[in-house]
Amino acid sequence: MKNTVFVFVCFIFLFGLVSAANAQAPTGNWSSNIFCQNLDTDLPANIKLSFYPHGEAAAALIYDDIIPAGGSKNYDTSELDLPDDFLGAVVVNSTQAVVCTVNTQKAGTGSSESPYRIAASSGTDETETASSMYAPQVMKDYHEWNSYFAVQNTSETEITVEVTYKDRAGNNVPEAAETATIPSYSNTTFNQATNPGLPLEFVGAAKVTVTDPAEAKMTTVVNFYNNGTGSGTSQFHSYNGFSNGASKLYIPRVVRRFYGYNSGVTVQNVGDVDTSVTITFNFAGESYTYNSGTIPQNVALVLYLPDVSVLEPVDSLIVNYRFGNAVVEVDNPEGEIVAIVNEDNRGNAADNDDKEIPGERIGQGSTYSAIPAGSESQTLYFPQVPNNVDGVFSGGFYISNVTGSAGVCDIYFYGAEGANLDDVAIGANGSLSYYIPNIPNVPDGFNAGVRANCSVNVIGILNFAAAPGSGKVGDSFTQNNGFNK
């Protein structure tokens, strides 16, 4: 293919039965779905998906396909001719620009005996790979939470990588350092639960560095998860590692005691100098300022919003107003940071004004990445937005105007043109929030891409979950970043 565009999908499963012995993930049968969206509205994308087994240089399957102009497609690993118990990575080659996401899910039925566990991460293009990557939040037996991450070699030659850890106080943990050699385009995993050098109750940050050859590049995906002993502890989160930082980050959505949901924000200093941060939270038209202490280099600041005292006035709002957004800025002009945003529901009625929380929501959890200032654009892509898929899963998307000027957005639904929305007003620093079942003319079973063209610069996130009343429990909740292009 000429003018090939590469997208790297770092970590996928095909019904991989994971035992407690190797513990590369929570136990159970796991699989993956890859969603790719063609950004070109005039030309089809000829794509090639090359599936590389974990730790192996030769592709197990090369799958060719065509995505129509402006279209999207779903690649279910269970329907492809992959080996049983496949665990590995994918390289997507395309003649047109594409964006891809991947869902990793346990093969549960949504019952209390077999609850859902699902999370989403993004494919990365060549501009997002690097020789150093950062993971702001990793854990070992931290109140029964653990993590693991995959590193994909995005180079044509074999590489060696080193992983180093710092605890949240900024202390190095040299005895936990790890190295691995990764064949071209393949991946390997680093599991914190089985790392003997990490202490129990560890929560901190990791840095991955290519040591040989130093100019080679990689990408990473981090998963962290609750113990999964029942539907209420099914939370399974996924996020992409970061190749560089910024001095200002946008957080489109945070919640505090919102129908049982709470957010956490983890900020890692990835710059060359110590810094502190100022976080401005906005709820119901009011702003609240949090000032951190010093965050040393490579160290992560972990905040759980119910524990942030400046946000206590939010609890006096009626429950459906307890959502907002935030902006994170470094106080040192030379500082650079990255951040992730977690949200979960632990079934605590006190987080819902002592009212019962629907069973489908208890045990849900998700993570998305804070968005660096400067990456906003007038076009935003969401590769997967479902509407009543299998009578269970529905989702939505959120578009935020990061400018001081009002504008309009045209929103397009692939394959459901009758649902398209034209000239939707979006206020200065305002937002648009859509739940797909509430949009006229989106058919049941819709599970495709959405594109927003706006007259102002925007950012956005998408999500989906099992609908209340479906009777499906566990962690069906995912959030992921939209793609600015």
Which ranges of 298-362 does DSSP label H, i.e. alpha helix? none
Q: Which residue has the tokens 């610069």?
A: 457
Identify the burial level of 21 via C-beta atoms within 10 angstroms of its C-beta, where 0-12 means exposed, 13-18 middle and 19 or more buried. Answer: exposed
Q: What single-letter amino acid sits at 180?
A: A
Identify the CA nearest to 437 among candidates 450, 446, 427, 429: 446
Evaluate whether 364 touches 344 at the Cβ level (below 8 Å). Answer: yes
pLDDT tens over the chain, length 485 residues? 345 566 777 666 654 433 333 344 577 788 899 999 999 999 999 999 999 999 999 999 999 999 999 999 999 998 999 998 899 999 999 999 999 999 999 878 999 999 999 999 999 999 899 999 999 999 999 999 999 999 999 999 999 999 999 998 889 999 999 999 999 999 999 999 999 999 999 999 999 999 999 999 999 999 999 999 999 999 999 999 999 999 999 999 999 999 999 999 999 999 999 999 999 999 998 999 999 999 998 899 999 999 999 999 999 999 999 999 999 999 999 999 999 999 999 999 999 999 999 999 999 999 999 999 999 999 999 999 999 999 999 999 999 999 999 999 999 999 999 999 999 999 998 889 999 999 999 999 999 999 999 999 999 999 999 988 899 999 999 999 999 99
